[in-house]
A and B are shown apart, each in its own frame.
Chain A
Amino acid sequence: KNEVEQSPQNLTAQEGEFITINCSYSVGISALHWLQQHPGGGIVSLFMLSSGKKKHGRLIATINIQEKHSSLHITASHPRDSAVYICAVRSVQGAQKLVFGQGTRLTINP
């Protein structure tokens, strides 16, 4: 079993829909990252969380440390949000590295 699991693996929605991507992890962490990867490979950091909730524009990220779970929400989704969204954790054991989930491929149709 992977240390970081994301669901769903693939998600297709219509423009305007509210999107939720989930991430569960099995190790103690010092931080959790949500990342966005567009075709071609470039990765952009969206959020870094250690507790609570963060909001940036139409994106909201939450984390529940006790339940070892985080969610990324996108409100009023748009075709330009189509990308792979990746959850990654920095464990307290190996603080040097990020451990990544396998990613969620999001497609927003106009």
Chain B
Amino acid sequence: ETGVTQSPTHLIKTRGQQVTLRCSSQSGHNTVSWYQQALGQGPQFIFQYYREEENGRGNFPPRFSGLQFPNYSSELNVNALELDDSALYLCASSWDFSTDTQYFGPGTRLTVL
């Protein structure tokens, strides 16, 4: 049990739609990172938020956006969904982005039809 929760567990959308995925971190965790994991692959870094500001971004287009809130929750928003967006989306939180163990949520499995 990592203390990090994600919702929903599973989600099915169609191409072109928009989706919001949610993550609730442990209290005191100032950093949250989001990852996309395609089937059979390792996770890929989407972006990170530190104290409600974006603190780094991977090779994902602007239609992937995020928010972090003062209550240690965060969101990943994806606009104009494409079939290749089908994946497991993981959030991970920590006290400090550069040094600490990251605590992963169970993930949200998104299927785009």
Contact = CB atoms under 8 A, between A and B. Distances in A.
Q: Do A and B bind each other?
A: yes
Contacts of A42: 2, 104-107
Contacts of A33: 101-102
Nearest to A100: B42
B56 A103 contact: no
Interface of B: 2, 33, 35, 37, 40-45, 48, 50, 55-56, 58, 88, 90, 92, 97-99, 101-107, 109
Q: Is the interface of A mostly helix, strand, loop or mixed?
A: strand
A94 B106 CA distance: 25
Interface residues of A, number: 25
B103 A45 contact: yes
A41 B35 CA distance: 12
B58 A41 contact: no
B42 A86 contact: yes
A7 interface: no
Contacts of B97: 95-96
A44 B44 CA distance: 16
B33 A96 contact: yes
Contacts of A45: 101-104
A24 to B, nearest CB: 14
